[in-house]
Structure 1
Amino acid sequence: MKWAVLSDIHGNLEAFNAVLDCLSKEGIDRVAFLGDIVGYGANPNECIDLLKDIADIIVAGNHDYGAVGLTDASGFNPAARAAIEWTAKELSTINRNFLSGVHLISIRDDIAFVHSTPYNPQNWDYLFYQDDLTMNFDSFQTRICFIGHSHVPVVFKKDKEGKTSSSKTLTVRLEEGGRYIINVGSVGQPRDGIPDAAFGIYDAKECVFTLKRSPYDIGTAQKKIIKAGLPERLAARIAIGR
């Protein structure tokens, strides 16, 4: 079984289409999406419609819930809040209802899929530090938990002795007895200094996770953001991956 694991499209149709082009060459069996279909970018409805056609698993992100009033967006930074308010007005009734019905976590084939963290996912916390790993590993029972939210790819491991570590290696072979929390980065707004769309492929048969990158038409995505009247900062940042 070969999984494609995507997160944080954020209404960036150009990045999403570039990733789908890559996936068509990878022999993918299942597609999982880890939340934040919308927010920041100018094509929320188009991204939702496309994702519904191709994804086997979809979980909700904070921007998805924020756009439909299921989470409080007042604490978002000004640009993010402006984008959520714009998105809320743009969403079709069908897509508003769809986002309202998406759950926070899904489990399939000894894998957990969640947007933020397995520990209290509704709090939308970020997982950056070793100090937070123990409570998060204790919060799920599967071998692997895939996450997004931070837009920064990283692999956290807990070995069979209970020791935790982190790695930004692009390809990781899962060790027997090890458990993993894997952040697959962001399709539509990477923040690791690389503007190319990020996504993951997990080959369950070979027990190998690979982080993939895909260039896309950033200029067109930027023009759409500006034309929509969204904050210019949102257009500028996708060109630098921050």
Structure 2
Amino acid sequence: MKWMVASDIHGAAECCRKMLEAMEREQADKLLLLGDLLYHGPRNDLPEDYAPKEVITMLNGAKERLLCVRGNCDTEVDQMVLEFPIMAEYAVVQLGERMIFASHGHHINPSNPPYLKQGEILLNGHTHVPAYEKQEGGWLYLNPGSVSIPKNDSEKSYLILCERECRLNNLSGNQIWMKQFGE
């Protein structure tokens, strides 16, 4: 199984379009969205290509390949227009033998993690900053950054997760880094 992981679209239509094109180019089986799909939030500037109605149409068109968790900017009103569930606070998925706990990151994060065993993964968005960090106890913290509003001089990015490795790519598909699990 090949997972693409993205977060923090914040209603940016062109970024959403590029993200979905990347999903096709990468031949990902599923796209795991870590929240903040339509609204830009009070702390972010309006994205350059802010068009949440276009984002709704694009995401609904890919609904059979999406798994999503709720971000701090996602609301019940958003769920009314989206044809796939977005209100779950977290999701637990398997990647081969590896368990992945996915949440937006505003509540469950490296400072307040769930119980994770060695080799398991905590996936968060929220910070808009990509991360690959080994944690005390041997579990791994991953963040795909943001596809629309990157922070800390990062690029618009997403993760590709395979059984033995993960890659961070920019929206054009250029690899930023690749890590073998267990490194």
TM-score band w.r.t. shorter chain? 0.7 to 0.9
Q: Which amino acid aligns with 1:56?
A: L
Counterpart Cα distance in 2 of 1:53 and 1:147 = 24
2:153 to 193, 208, 217: 193
Q: Normalization by structure 1: what TM-score?
A: 0.57
| Ranges in structure 1 where 5+ consecutive residues have no aligned partner | 69-90, 163-177, 216-242
Query: Structure 1 residues 52 and 192, CA, compared in 2 at 3 Å: closer, same or farther?
Result: farther
Aligned position for 1:49: 57
Partner of 1:4: 4
Q: How much has 1:10 moved relative to structure 2?
A: 0.5
Determine the structure 1 residue equivalent to 2:140: 180
- Is the 1:7–1:184 contact (alpha carbons within 8 Å) kept by the matching residues of 2? yes
Is 1:95 the counterpart of 2:52? The answer is no
Cα deviation code 1:44-82 (max 9, x no counterpart)? 2221332233243111111113x74xxxxxxxxxxxxxx
Q: Distance in 1 between matches of 2:56 and 2:132?
A: 27
What is the rounded CA distance, in whole Å, between the counterparts of 1:29 and 1:61 in structure 2?
22
Contact 2:17 2:58 in 1 (8 A): no
* 2: CA distance, partners of 1:45 / 1:95: 9
Query: 1:57, 1:96 → 2: CA distance?
Result: 12
Equivalent position of 1:235 in the other structure: none
Q: Could you tell me how far 1:22 is from its partner in structure 2?
A: 2.2
Paired with 2:6 and 2:13, the residues of 1 have a C-alpha distance of 13
Q: TM-score, normalised by structure 2?
A: 0.73
Mark the runs of 5 or more structure 2 residues left unpaired by the alignment. 41-46, 173-183
RMSD between aligned residues = 2.6
Question: Shift of the alpha carbon at 1:98?
Answer: 6.6
Larger radius of gyration: 1
2:73 alignment partner, SS class: helix
C-alpha contact 1:112 1:140 (8 A) present in aligned 2: no
